Amino acid sequence: MHRSASRLTRILACAAVPVMLVVAGCSSDSDGKKDGASSSSAAPEATKTEVAVAPAKFAELPDPCKSITSKTVKSLVPSAKNKSGTRGKSSDTAARGGCSWNGLDDNGVKGSQYRWLDVGFTRFASDQALGSGADRAQADYAKQVAKAQAAEGAKKLATAPAPAGSIGEEATKVTYDLTKTGEDFKYATVIARTGNVVVTVNYNGAGYAGAKTPSASDILKGAEKAAKEAVASVAAANDAGQPSGSPKPAGSASAKASDKASASATKSD
């Protein structure tokens, strides 16, 4: 009996050895698989690339007081006080500018005709944080249209899009009547966008001392004519000295500095 117990103990001891070895082997294999999985999951992340915004089409603005021909100014404002125009004040002429003409054409006993014409330009640079110049100009274009439609005291307000491509890439015409200084005025505003530039033309007139009030259609035609010339002057200012088919100028140092300053100011706001 004692021998049988002793023999049984030896058998169990021997049987335990391979079991321990198997367990150790499984543990080793398991660790190896974990290491392999860890290595494969540690692949480097793909580098994210930011899509660059489209470059601005125009780098320069025209001289606002020369953007409308002297012939057109004379026909729209016959007795302009300053035939060369009155330049608007701007702290950044590479980004914005304007000019105006006004005068009273005295016809003696037939009364007098008053006319006002002004043109304004705003250029937007492309900026990685703010968007392309064209997109920024499009947003401002919408704001200018809304502003013209909100003219205080306006009567018979009418808004209509200009035919596609007739005045820049897109344009809107706003007309209305307004009474001031005891006279009935006819107003027309044309807002146009060409590339990254927004052009706004205002033209209005009235008859004084019994003179006939100008027709709304004549005032609108005058505004459209001035707007077409102003839009064309933007392309001319950027094509100056460029051979046909050559790339658009990259912009002067002053324009580039202006773009950086404008972008910084917008971001800070």
Please report, for the chain, the start and end positions of each structural domain, with discontinuous segments joined by +. Answer: 64-268
pLDDT in tens, 130-180: 999 999 999 999 999 999 999 999 999 999 999 989 999 999 999 999 999
Higher pLDDT, 254 or 190: 190
Q: Are 133 and 248 in contact (CB under 8 A)?
A: no
12-69, pLDDT tens digit by residue? 444 444 443 333 444 444 454 444 444 445 555 555 667 899 999 999 999 999 999 9
Q: What global pTM score does this model have?
A: 0.74
Residues shown for the chain: 269
- Alpha-carbon gap, residue 224 to 168, rounded angstroms: 11
- 3 state SS of 265: helix
Indicate the pairing of strand 86-87 with strand 170-180.
unpaired
**3-class DSSP state for residue 110?**
helix
- State how far the Cα of 207 lies from the Cα of 186, in Å rounded to an integer: 10
Q: Tell me: pLDDT of 235 over 50.
A: yes
φ/ψ of 79, rounded to 5, equals: -120, 50
Residue 86 pairs in a beta bridge with 100
Distance in angstroms (rounded) separating the CA atoms of residues 197 and 229 = 14
